[in-house]
Chains A and B, each alone.
Chain A
Amino acid sequence: MNEEILTGLLLEEQLELTLGDLCNACSQHAEWVIQLVDEGVLEPVGVEQRQWKFSAISLQRAQRAMHLQRDLGVNLAGVALALDLLDEIYTLRTRLGRFEVD
């Protein structure tokens, strides 16, 4: 076993990624990320593309979008819908967990 303790980067909401960072992390072209923004899947802060800042949540959404597109052949509008519904399910499950006894 490796004795060294690895320290990763905690992807917090406050974390700010540029368009380039996001493209790198997803191995995708900027055009693809821009499409996601146009579709409302990602909501960067900043008006101009050069100044866009994305949160770590955007990174997770972009990666999920990529997997859904690749594995299930869902188009971008479908991806946007699926991600919104998944968010809602997550919120509901968390709330439900509060009421379920063990």
Chain B
Amino acid sequence: MEFKDYYAVFGVKRDASQDEIKRVYRKLARKFHPDVSKEADAEVKFKELGEAYEVLKDPEKRAAYDQLGKNWKTGEDFNPPPDWDAGFEFRGGGYTEADAAAYSDFFDSLFGQGFAGSQSSQAGRTHTGYHAQGEDHHAKVLIDLEDAYRGASRGITLRSPEVDRQGRVITRERTLNVKIPKGVRQGQRIRLSGQGSPGIGEGRSGDLYLEIEFNPHSVYRVEGRDVYLDLPITPWEAALGASVKVPTPNGALDMKIPAGTGTSAGSGRKLRLKGRGIPGKPPGDLYVMPQITVPAADTDSAKDLFRKMEQELAYNPRSKLGV
């Protein structure tokens, strides 16, 4: 089992006051709350904070934890010394009513069933007549934009702490194969009934909520149902108009670039391919943003062509700026 340095989790000294610990906890809890934070590992971090606070906020648990000594480092192999908690007096159950099963093995070994004065944490769970619905679980699923166009199935590995028959906390890993329906969008959620934590007594199981997140795409950007694409075009395609090949997540298409794209008249800054966004009712649109790119003048004939344009077109793109 790995030792956990609860002070390091908070980034406070071992002699921090209870008030300071409370303040730091509040601040970090807001920062890493999974519903607020954009950090990728917010959920793990938030649980860690909760566990550390469970110990440090309680002067009795904190004192017991402190006397393990200060030379331990997070991640070191650790086994609690026998009778480590002898001589401490605890009020009530050492185990909290909080979601104890979600805490680490380390926490469990110190403040779990063996903890002086603690009642069996399972007593409430097996008590006849006690029923509660299992907890809902939340997870993110990363999919590619192409999956939203065509639909897909995804294997999702979930790790959840559970209490086994002997009352020990174990981490159960399970893989679910989940259908990703065609037309899903960023941030949408899929509910899988009964795939959360099992209920207690006759309580029904919780649900599993999967939040859809798109992998960043090298070519497309997504906004709701609509998809955006920067399309490089040549100056002559922009000026004269052309039919060009455009990639879409569903395969390439031919698209007309109108003559005069990119001129100061401003036409054709954003070309819409109706209904070519994420499928659905209604489907989204695909917006093509033409980006005029200029070929390098790296040969004499290329230079001549540009000079000829300079002489014959008399074009000043900065006239509106007054220069």
Task: Report Cα–Cα, A75/B50, bound state, in Å.
Answer: 20
B176, A6: Cβ atoms closer than 8 Å: yes
- Max chain A C-beta neighbours (<10 A), residue from B26, B34, B36, B190: B36
Q: Does A31 contact B (CB under 8 A)?
A: no
CB proximity of A87 to chain B, nearest CB, Å: 11
Shortest CB-to-CB span from A27 to chain B, Å, is 5
The distance in angstroms between the C-alpha atoms of A27 and B131, with both chains bound, is 13
Most buried by B among A10, A67, A71: A10
Instruction: List, in ascending order, chain B residues with CB within 8 A of A1's CB.
Output: 155, 175, 177
CB-CB < 8 A to B191: which residues of A? 8-9, 11
Q: A1-B155, A2-B176, A10-B181 are in contact. Are A25 and B33 (CB under 8 A)?
A: no
Chain B interfacial residues counted at CB < 8 A: 41
The closest CB in chain A to the CB of B178 belongs to A6
> Does A82 reach chain B (CB closer than 8 Å)?
yes
Judge whether B223 and A94 touch: CB under 8 Å: yes
Interface residues of B in 177-236 (CB under 8 A from A): 177-179, 181, 184, 186-193, 195, 207-210, 216, 218, 221, 223-224, 228
Known A5-B153, A95-B223, A98-B223: A64·B35 in contact at CB below 8 Å = yes
Report chain A residues within 8 Å CB of B193: 8-9
Interface SS, A side: helix
Q: Chain A 2-27 against B: per-residue CB contact (8 Å), 1 yes, 0 no?
A: 11111111111000000000000101
Q: CB-CB < 8 A to B33: which residues of A?
A: 67-68, 71-72
Task: Say whether, besides A90-B187, A95-B223, A102-B218, A72 and B175 are in contact (CB < 8 Å).
Answer: no
For B211, give the chain A residue with the smallest CB separation: A60
Contacts of A82 in B (CB 8 A): 36
**B30 adjacent to chain A (CB < 8 Å):** yes
Assess the A5–B177 pair: CB atoms within 8 A. yes
Decide if A98 touches B221 in the complex (CB within 8 Å). Answer: yes
A3 to B175, CA, bound (A): 10
Decide yes or no whether B143 CB sits under 8 A from chain A.
Answer: no
A97 within 8 A of B: yes
Q: Is A56 an interface residue (CB 8 A)?
A: yes
Does A86 sit at the interface, judged by CB under 8 A? Answer: yes
Distance between Cα atoms of A64 and B187 in the complex (Å): 14
> Which of A4, A56, A95 touches B189 (beta carbons < 8 Å)?
A56
List the A residue with the shortest CB-CB distance to B217.
Answer: A102
Closest to A94 in B: B223
Q: Which residue numbers of A lie inside 8 Å of B, CB to CB?
A: 1-12, 25, 27, 56, 60, 63-64, 67-68, 71-72, 82, 86, 90, 93-95, 97-98, 102
**Closest 8 pairs (CB-CB, A-B):** A8-B190, A8-B192, A7-B179, A64-B35, A5-B177, A11-B189, A9-B191, A1-B175
**A–B Cβ pairs within 8 angstroms, 17 of them:** A2-B177, A4-B177, A5-B178, A6-B176, A6-B192, A8-B191, A9-B191, A10-B181, A10-B189, A63-B136, A71-B29, A86-B35, A94-B223, A95-B223, A97-B221, A98-B223, A102-B218
